[in-house]
Every structure is written in C-alpha cells, then in structure tokens.
Amino acid sequence: MVHPLTWISRAASVSRCVAVVLALSFGSAFAGPDTLVIFPAAFQPSLADWRAYRESQGHQIQTVDSPATASGVRAAIQRANGSKSLKYVLLIGDAPRAGMPDRQRALTTTPTNYVAAKVNVQWGSEPWIATDVPFADLDSDDVPDLAIGRIPVASAQQLAVVLRKTLDYEQKAAHGAWERRLNIASGNGGFGAVTDALIEAAARQVLSQTVPAEYTTQHIFPGMTEATGAVIAVSFAARARQQISEGSLAWVYLGHGRATELDRVPTATGSESILSVGDVSKLRCSGHSPLAVLVACYTGAMDAPRNCLAEELLTADEGPVAVIAATRVTMPYGNTVLGCELLRACFRERPTHLGDSLRLAEQKTLRPVADDQLRLSLDSMAAGLSPAPADLATERREHVQMYHLFGDPLLHLRRPAIELPPTVFESQAK
C-alpha cells in the first residue's frame, strides 16, 4: 500500500511538470497582455479580423468593456498591467460629449480625462484639457509609459472601416516613392512679422536637421508662384487636398485650425478653408494613405459638440490611415518642440509601431535638455515669441497632454522597401 503522502508528492511533481510544459509551450500567453483594448461591447464583432492579424504578429491582446468613468478606465489599465507586460492601449469609441443621452453615452463612448490648463489659457483656450495621456502614465509622474491611441467611432460599422483601412495599409499597399515623401502645407501665420519669422525659421531648422536627405520634402504655402519654384495651378486649398490624396509617409499641416476645419485662405471669390469636414469625402488616399499630422488648434477636439476634423479624417473610407492632432489651443513653442521630437522618433529611433513614435516624442518633449543644440536653439527662440512663454516646461507638458493619436497604436508605419543603415539616419538626425 502506498502511503498517502507519497501520492501527494507524486501529484505535486506531475503538477510541476505540467506547469513547466505549459510555460514552455504557451509562455507568452502566461506573461500577460502587451495590448489592452477598451471598447463598448457592441463594437466587439468588428474587432475579429484586426485581432487575429495582430495576434499573428505576436501580440497578446486583452479586451475590456468600456467603464463608465475615467477612473474606471485607469483602474482597468492598472489591472491589465498586473504582470508589468502592458505596452499598448487602444481606446475605441468617441469621447463623451456634453448633452449626450445616457444610453448613447453607454453604447458608443469611452471616457477621457480633463486636466487643468495653466499656459494655453493665455491664448484663449478653455481651462480644462481633454486628454487620454494620463491613462498611459502608470506611475503618476506625468510621463506616459504606454503607447496609447483612440479610434473615436460611434458604431461598429465605422470601426470596421477604420480597421479595414489599417490592415490594408499594412498588407496591401504597394511600395513606392510615396513612402519617401513628406508633404507639408503651411497656412498663414498671422502672429505678427517677428513671431511669424521666428516660427518659420524654427520649422526650417527642425526639418533640415531631422528629415534624412533621402526623403523628398514637398512644402506648399499660400501665395506660391513660379518664382518660388512651384506652380500652384489651382487654389491653394485644392492643392493641399490633392497633396493628401497623392500619398506620402505623412501629410503635415502647420497653421491655424478649428475643431472642424483648418485655416481659411483668400481666393478670387472670397475665403476658403484649406480643409474642412465637408471636404473629407473628396479625398482619395486609398492604397497610399498618409499619416496626417495637424499642428494646429482644436483639430483633435474629440469632446466637441460634433465630430472634429481628426475624427472625420480617420473614419473616412479613403482618408488618412491615422491622425495626430490636438484637443485644445496650441502654441508655437510647444508645437515646435513636440514636432521636432516626433520627427526624431520617426527618423532616428524608428520604432516599428506608430504609437511608440508618439510615446518617445512625448517622453523627450517633457525631458529637460542640457547638451541638445537643436532643442536649446528652440528654447532660445521662444524668448522672441509674443507673448513670450513664461514657463517652457509647463507649455511642453500641456502640448503632450493635448496631442493625441487617432488610430491604432500598433500600426506599422510604412518604411521604404530598401532602407539605409540606421547610422546614416542617425547621423543626419543629430
């Protein structure tokens, strides 16, 4: 007769062996998720193809129904990070809006945060900044630790469009010259001659020191003529929209903006918005969709009474594949520093996922500099702006809070089929 303790010992041994086998076979599954997706339950059917594709790339994905409050979202993220494996958060659903019926809020939204504004209120902004960035801060030091993005859709059908466009970008888009093109459109400054000149000089300095020579930079602005080296055969606004549709690694707008449109420019028959929500359906980016970066006020105001321009661009069937935009009033110095670090992240660090590019840019924007000549130059230029920034660190922090990725943080930003060695990029980005 075998002693009972012997059976217990043998059972424990078998359990340990089974655990080892399972750990070896499915170790990544037991390590905890690297990606958390938070969304209203009604959107679940539209996630299937996207989830299968991301898991085939090695991602461990956990899903959670949208909590009713921002504190509930933060708690869900902390729970998902119990094994310290979390790297990415995707929020799906629009931000709740004032006056929205409770049922619509529950079925279609995922909450955001509101933090007090201290600097941009001097430029006429609201006293509160709508921001998802605190969700990415795991240790409450005001620095994002996770890459986070939001797909601000109101229905499962809209979500299906965005995710289909995301997968087509990675799986079907053909390599071509568009991947080496950076298209830029500037609006009128209007801050005054001195400030406008400083902003223009800072933009030129950042572009020349961060974009590798192997990339083509096409920069258009109102009033361009043959004498400036480019022919604007149609209105500037029409040319800017054409620039988006023709495809590029990124389309960058620098200038003024509102929640539903970019700045207006004069035409022979009056003024015309460079791009508004009414123009989005005319875009034809299919097959070579750019990342749209809107360096402007309010264009990412996800809590505005109606869909903002960034939301309309992302959800358009043939619009950009992702959008980076701000929820509130932005300022020249903060814009320039965050834009500089975003370009550096894209062309120097070159992470695989778009969300990591923005996360790195945010972290470096918040970091004080001592021996970074480009950043020190931007800080010195800030003294000449009107009004001059009184607190550079706080202005940088508010811009990190305002700018958001509208789209999938796991998106693989397109790279040319043949790349130069990293050292070449790095030497030109320094």
What tens digit of pLDDT does each residue of 101-142 get?
888 888 999 999 999 999 999 888 999 999 999 999 999 999
Q: How far apart are the C-alpha atoms of 45 and 52, rounded to whole Å?
A: 12
Domains: count for the chain = 1
In a domain, 118, yes or no: no
Helix or strand (DSSP H, E) at 61: strand 61-65
Q: What distance lies between CA 295 and its chain's CA centroid? A: 12
Query: For residue 370, what are the domain limits?
Result: 175-429
In a domain, 102, yes or no: no
Query: Parallel, antiparallel, or unpaired: how do β-strands 250-254 and 291-295 relate?
Result: parallel
pLDDT in tens, 203-251: 889 999 999 999 999 999 887 654 444 444 468 899 999 999 999 999 9
Q: Are 325 and 291 in contact (CB under 8 A)?
A: no
Amino acid at 280: V
Confidence (pLDDT) at 361: 98
Confidence (pLDDT) at 200: 86
Task: Give the domain CATH number at 255.
Answer: 3.40.50.1460
In a domain, 130, yes or no: no
Ranges of the chain with pLDDT below 70: 1-30, 224-234, 386, 417-430
Identify the three-state secondary structure at position 295.
Answer: strand
In a domain, 212, yes or no: yes
Confidence (pLDDT) at 19: 37
Q: What residues does 185 pair with on adjacent strands?
A: 220, 253
The residue among 403, 228, 174 whose CA lies nearest residue 310 is 403
In a domain, 183, yes or no: yes
Location of structure tokens 């390590």: 31
Q: Are 291 and 326 in contact (CB under 8 A)?
A: no
In a domain, 170, yes or no: no
The residue among 291, 18, 392, 332 whose CA lies nearest residue 186 is 332
From residue 427, alpha-carbon distances to 340, 349, 362 in Å are 16, 12, 22
In a domain, 415, yes or no: yes
The answer for residues whose C-beta is within 8 angstroms of residue 322's C-beta and 6 or more apart is 149, 166, 291, 292, 314, 354, 405, 406, 407, 408, 411
In a domain, 386, yes or no: yes
Q: How far apart are the C-alpha atoms of 241 and 183, rounded to whole Å?
A: 11
Please provide the DSSP assignment of 134-195 as one string.
GGG-SSSSSS--SEEEEE--SSHHHHHHHHHHHHHHHHTPPP-GGGGEEEEEE----S-HHH
